[in-house]
């Protein structure tokens, strides 16, 4: 694998594997006592997707809405936008469900009710892990202000080797 310094210089890479994008500067933390209250509303999304095996890069631009879930207590998280990958651009969307807990944390489920991960932003940062078949999703959520937060997913396994970095900004 090589040392961290070699990886930073692009040396010591596995053959046929693109260098991983550099680290993002550590943003300030914004403690969030109630995840559901904080996330409620509409957000702009700017996401970069890196395929670490091939070096390909894509992007997603769109909006996220966290609104009351008509199917029960909690919020529906609806993302809609455009995914650009190479020369192709397509509409893309996803739906998640956020179930608030009494302590200000939340449980996140897929639209069909399967569990995805938990979320605790009381310190301003949270790490979550989600196994998906043989792949592993490791997410870091960082609240950086009253109207901004970031999400980074590192996905590794036999099917994927990706890094997804997303910035959310509240829409007024």
Condensed to tens digits (0 to 9), the pLDDT of residues 35-54 reads 999 999 999 999 999 999 99
What is the pLDDT at residue 72? 83
Q: pLDDT grade, residue 17 (50/70/90)?
A: low
Q: pLDDT grade, residue 21 (50/70/90)?
A: confident
The side-by-side arrangement of strands in the sheet containing 135-145 is 115-119, 106-110, 88-100, 75-85, 57-68, 41-51, 161-170, 148-156, 135-145, 125-132
Give the residue-averaged pLDDT of 77-86: 97
pLDDT in tens, 96-105: 999 999 999 9
Q: pLDDT grade, residue 12 (50/70/90)?
A: very low
What is the pLDDT at residue 20? 74
Full-model pTM:
0.85
What is the pLDDT at residue 15? 52
pLDDT greater at residue 4 or residue 22: 22
Half-sphere CA count of 9, side-chain side, radius 13 A:
6
Distances (CA, A) of 22 to 95, 125, 162: 30, 20, 13
What is the pLDDT at residue 101? 98
Mean pLDDT, the chain, whole residue set: 90
What is the pLDDT at residue 10? 42
> 77: which strand partners?
66, 96
pLDDT in tens, 133-165: 999 999 999 999 999 999 999 999 999 999 999
């Amino acid at each position: 694998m090589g040392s961290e310094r070699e990886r930073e210089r692009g040396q010591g890479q596995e053959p046929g594997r693109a260098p991983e994008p550099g680290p993002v500067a550590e943003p300030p933390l914004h403690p969030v006592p109630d995840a559901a209250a904080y996330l409620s509303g509409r957000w702009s999304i700017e996401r970069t997707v890196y395929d670490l095996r091939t070096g390909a890069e894509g992007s997603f631009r769109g909006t996220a809405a966290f609104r009351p879930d008509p199917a029960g207590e909690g919020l529906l998280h609806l993302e809609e936008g455009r995914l650009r990958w190479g020369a192709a651009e397509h509409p893309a969307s996803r739906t998640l469900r956020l179930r608030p807990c009494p302590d200000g944390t939340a449980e996140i489920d897929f639209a069909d009710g399967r569990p995805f991960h938990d979320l605790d932003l009381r310190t301003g940062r949270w790490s979550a892990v989600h196994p998906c078949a043989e792949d592993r999703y490791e997410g870091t959520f960082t609240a950086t202000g009253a109207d901004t937060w970031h999400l980074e997913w590192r996905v590794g396994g036999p099917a994927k080797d990706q890094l997804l970095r997303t910035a959310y900004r509240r829409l007024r």
